[in-house]
Amino acid sequence: MSRFRYLTRAVWLLSLISLFTDLASEMLYPVMPLYLQSIGFSVFFIGLLEGVAEAVAGLSKGYFGQWSDRLGRRVPFVQWGYGLSALSKPLLAVLATPAGVLLARTVDRLGKGLRTGARDALLADETTPADRGKVFGFHRSMDTLGAVFGPLAALGWLAAHPGQYRPLFLWAFVPGVLAVGLTLALRERRAVPSGRPVVPFWASFRYWRAAPLPYRRVVGGLLVFALFNSSDAFLLLLARQRGLSATAVIGLYILYNVTYVLSAWPLGYLADRLGPRRLLAAGLLVFAGVYGGMAFVREGWAFAVLFGLYGLYAAATEGVGKAWVSTLCARADTGAALGTLGGLSSLAALGASAGAGLLWQFRGPGLTFGLAAAVALGVAGYLALVRTEEKPIGG
């Protein structure tokens, strides 16, 4: 068991909490675009809704991440963040108007922003740089395991009750409450307070100006990619638009998450052995292939291949990117550094999703996916070459 010494009590708890929370969220995510279309939402408005929700998460990630560093505390932010996300699920069942759906999604994303920086800092504090890829990979595997069970539950419900989406929002409250209960078992590992003043909410990304140059180089490249990486809802809408049934669309999403679960932890190992740079660049190349292929495919089997590859892309980039960035900042600033990355990425997602919805509306999905593929190719090349060491004075 010494080989798995990095799987501490806190890592297990945080991973199980994420599993139950994702189970709740992913019961709803693959049916959300189908549900919104059924009550009259356009593709553009779906993109805008997803973008605004992510922007709320983005602003709050940076703010609460640096607040967590300032106090040297993590657990209260984790507890309240998961609590808000659990509360948002029944709100979606009760509020079926555009304004109501926006409010519920905002509460959910505010909870994500509240917890993300502190949770990722807890994970980083539980391990050494040599094991961070494995720890973040394990956490992503457990998190995504919930994203397998959630769509399966939704698939079972819709098979028995076709078209009845709203009761799912009430059922999703149950695993959300279980996740909140597990947060009560977390123990605070007191961190050294950063000493930095808490900046206003609208200035929560001020860490960027104080961040080391290697951090800004890497995160800058990731943000360029995020500006063109729209919501996964568009992938689901494309499959539905090209003739797949609602249950087949959910099946594709399950396939994506199963691939993610099976590959995230092994790819975390690979990142620790080869370095996160190579794996992240390779993941973006896979993304480019998937999005380029999406512009042309029509058959169900081809969609299945691409969704499986999309799971590999996610496993090679999400946890690995955080693990890499956490090595490019001071330990006392980990919450702010990861919160700023997540926050700015979420803000970029606002532009990406709104822009993709607009482009799809007027020029069709082919150009939407092709443009994202081209940008991913460019960012992969940049990250493969970018310098991640400080340049000596006079050098």
Tens-of-pLDDT digits for all 395 residues of the chain? 456 677 788 888 888 998 998 888 878 777 777 677 666 667 677 767 766 776 776 677 767 877 787 777 888 888 999 999 888 888 877 776 777 777 888 888 888 888 887 888 888 877 777 777 778 778 877 887 887 788 888 878 877 877 677 788 788 888 889 999 999 988 877 666 666 665 665 555 677 877 888 888 998 999 999 888 887 878 888 888 888 887 788 888 888 888 887 887 788 778 778 778 888 999 999 999 999 998 888 888 889 999 999 999 988 887 778 778 888 887 777 767 777 787 788 778 777 877 887 888 778 778 888 889 999 999 999 998 887 764 433 33
Q: Give me the pLDDT at residue 39, please.
A: 67
Closest Cα to residue 104, out of 47, 31, 40, 52? 52
Q: Return the CATH number at 178.
A: 1.20.1250.20
Closest Cα to residue 335, out of 10, 76, 95, 117? 117
Sign of CA dihedral 68, 340, 370, 306: negative
Closest Cα to residue 380, out of 310, 321, 327, 297? 321
| In a domain? residue 316 | yes
| In a domain? residue 331 | yes
| In a domain? residue 2 | no
pTM: 0.69
| In a domain? residue 1 | no
Structural domain range at position 182: 7-186+204-385
Q: Give me the pLDDT at residue 3, please.
A: 63
DSSP structural state of residue 227: T
Q: Give me the pLDDT at residue 43, please.
A: 67
| In a domain? residue 394 | no
User: What is the rounded CA–CA span in Å between residue 146 and residue 80?
Assistant: 20
Neighbours of 219 (CB within 10 A): 23
Reduce the DSSP state of residue 189 to 3 states and report it.
Answer: coil
Q: Give me the pLDDT at residue 197, please.
A: 63
Specify the number of domains making up the chain. 1
pLDDT tens column, 54-76: 677 667 776 787 778 777 788 88
Q: Give me the pLDDT at residue 310, please.
A: 93
| In a domain? residue 196 | no
Q: Which amino acid type is present at position 266?
A: P
| In a domain? residue 54 | yes
pLDDT tens column, 199-212: 665 555 677 877 88
Q: Give me the pLDDT at residue 284, please.
A: 94
Closest Cα to residue 353, out of 101, 31, 44? 44
Q: Give me the pLDDT at residue 285, please.
A: 94
